[in-house]
Chain A
């Protein structure tokens, strides 16, 4: 970056010209002139769907959105919030999935980031390896893992066999399916946490650590009392970025277990449930209600995290 700084400031600047009125106007209003197109774009694409979803959630729409439907107030919300067979289990699964992958990804990510912190030979290759899962297309990743986790022909059971462990059902098992999809998520997204935390580690200043070394603090003590507190804001950013995506995970679940999240809905999260309600059952009213509750859950958890971030900073 320093090179380009010199280059551009060395370039002779154009002499100031007499400014026409429209240009003065543009300069005076540049704040909104710059911001407005992007905001308008998002607003135009979002306002109608949100209004439509809110309206549908208050009606009994089903079958087709163009079919006649009538206003039923908060009836859908009552139905959904008292539904203990599909809705609440889906909420729990969403939280279990998100919480589970976040904990593992942050712990593993921190460990790997610490391993990568100080320079070493072959560093470049390790970084390449870390990048690959991250950019792989999720649908392709889902297909790949379906083959690997196939109970009969998959690599996973072959590898377990080398260690004398019997075959596991993986994605096929009622209990093991959700943890298996979590494993896939962890494989794909731990690298992202590593990169975020590594950036944080690299920007730490050396002084507190050196002081601690002189005081004779052990590795764990240095981590626990110096690195971790300093890294807290970065950790929360990582959780925030990953958390939104983890809550909304869809591609991998759809690619590995299909609609409804399996025969026992074993991987049916809120996103998968809402998709099924819309596209499998054509229950547009209920589906919209679930989507709005889901949206509130995402916004709520983001809000909690952002306020934690401010505290930690």
Chain B
């Protein structure tokens, strides 16, 4: 008994000593304006910026305090902090299509219009028009796009060859036939995999929807997820996964789970954002790194219409008291040099000049660069409904996807989703 008390006493004393020493470093209350608080998502982009950060700190004499969070925790933190009107975030990495409208409407994002025009060398006009539109709210610039995404087809060259298929499928019908052929020839390998989670799948499903000739909302703002094209697209996407997807497929898969199946060699075709290609071609992460091929999104009845969107942007917290320095960081992180460096490291950016520069795509697999170039002209500027409450909208329009995957009546589900979506749209007006 005495001995045990001694042990506890010692460990508490150690804990206290450790704790006190931590306290000294942590609780400097008045973080002066020389300290910039930057909140970023876990992403390859963030890793690259982190490495280059000393350069920025030396140039400006500012100290950057970086918080890095997973996607979900990031939005939870924003929802609490910005909601409370807190100024302890200066620069924030956010998803223009997911939270952009909500944040802008709530006044969380500072107006950057004047700042974007202040420096001609930095060249705001160099940014692609689609992404810029997504970071503009009511004619005010509220963010600078940093990462762009398109949907492309990932496939396994070796499996296709083995099944006697010489070229990647050009249309969705060919994709279905090829997937069936490959999986028949390779037991244990699924013909096709893609995201299956109700909300996670919406963005990757969107290219299918557009290529069948549909969209979430029509020009008059009416819900159209039960149009004949949409019904076909739901049935096609769901059917592809149900019939040719992995066995025991879960309806929770986001990209990490779907990507894992592909990179473990358990699937022949995979439709996904190009910005994630490093996961498939990096031998440390992928078992099939040397046999991955890329192709433009296969054409449906309405042609090949992949989304082409800005997935992440940097904004300035409207409640920040350090907005000028925050802008300095953004200007540096989105400069041509940094954009090029990031793009070389596998993160597609939003600058036209970097895409035009051969160095910008020099590190890309050639077929991926070609696929991106081929689908840019027909790209659609959104990959989810453009509304304020995106999370809720994604749940509504995603329901028919999971219903189709689990073999329920996709058409009936699309009708129900359309009614619900219309009510939702009306409520936002």
Contacts and interface: CB of A to CB of B under 8 A. Distances in A.
In the complex, A touching B (Cβ < 8 A): yes
A274 to B, nearest CB: 14
B279 interface: no
Interface stretch (A13-21, A61-69, A106-114): A61-69
Contact of B106 (A64, A151, A257): A64
A167 B249 CA distance: 11
Interface string A221-261: 00000000000000000000000000000000000011110
Given A171-B250, A263-B252, A264-B251, A63 B72 contact: no
Nearest to B401: A263
Given A152-B261, A279-B76, A66 B83 contact: yes
A173 interface: yes
Nearest to A66: B85
Given A151-B248, A173-B250, A282 B266 contact: no
A174 B389 CA distance: 26
A280 B391 CA distance: 6
A65 B261 contact: no
Given A63-B388, A279-B75, A282-B79, A258 B252 contact: yes
Interface stretch (B193-201, B268-276, B287-295, B348-356): B193-201
A282 B102 CA distance: 9
Interface string A45-82: 00000000000000000011111000000000000000
B79 A151 contact: no
A259 B250 contact: no
A117 B17 CA distance: 41
A264 B199 CA distance: 11
B391 A281 contact: yes
* Most B Cβ at <10 Å: residue of A63, A152, A264, A281: A152
Nearest to B247: A167
B246 A152 contact: yes
B320 to A, nearest CB: 16
Contact of B250 (A63, A172, A281): A172
A105 B228 CA distance: 51
A99 interface: no
Contacts of B248: 151-152, 167-169, 172
A167 B389 CA distance: 38
A42 interface: no
Nearest to A177: B252
Contact of A152 (B79, B85, B251, B266): B266
B318 to A, nearest CB: 12
Contacts of A172: 248-252
Given A174-B406, A260-B199, A263-B402, A169 B250 contact: yes
Q: What's the interface size class on A, roughly? A: 20 to 34
B83 A64 contact: yes
Interface string B100-113: 00100111100000
B252 A257 contact: yes
A39 interface: no
Contacts of A63: 102, 105-106, 388
* Most A Cβ at <10 Å: residue of B84, B196, B250: B250
A213 to B, nearest CB: 35
B18 interface: no
A167 B198 CA distance: 23
A174 B251 CA distance: 8
Query: For chain B, what secondary structure do more than half of its interface residues adopt (helix, strand, loop), or is it mixed?
Result: loop
Contact of B251 (A64, A65, A263, A279): A263
A278 B247 CA distance: 35
A167 B246 CA distance: 13
A117 B266 CA distance: 50
Given A63-B105, A63-B106, A263-B198, A278 B250 contact: no
A3 interface: yes
A278 B79 CA distance: 8
A262 interface: yes
B1 interface: yes
B395 interface: yes
B392 interface: yes
A222 B110 CA distance: 73
A70 to B, nearest CB: 15
Interface in A132-179: 151-152, 167-169, 171-174
A152 B188 CA distance: 11
B97 to A, nearest CB: 16
B247 to A, nearest CB: 8
Contacts of A66: 83-85, 106
Contacts of A280: 391-392
A278 B80 CA distance: 9
Contacts of B392: 280-281
A174 B198 CA distance: 12
A279 B250 contact: no
A155 to B, nearest CB: 15
B398 interface: yes
A279 B82 CA distance: 12
Interface string B64-79: 0000000010011001
Interface of A: 3, 63-67, 151-152, 167-169, 171-174, 257-260, 262-264, 278-282
Interface of B: 1, 72, 75-76, 79-80, 82-85, 102, 105-108, 196-199, 246-252, 261, 266, 388-389, 391-392, 395, 398, 402, 406
Given A169-B250, A282-B102, 4 more contacts: A151-B248, A172-B250, A263-B402, A264-B402
19 contacts: A63-B102, A63-B105, A63-B388, A64-B82, A151-B250, A152-B246, A168-B248, A172-B250, A172-B251, A257-B252, A260-B198, A262-B251, A263-B199, A263-B251, A263-B252, A264-B251, A279-B75, A281-B389, A282-B102
Closest 10 CB pairs of A and B: A172-B250, A263-B198, A64-B106, A263-B251, A151-B248, A263-B402, A280-B391, A279-B79, A281-B392, A279-B76
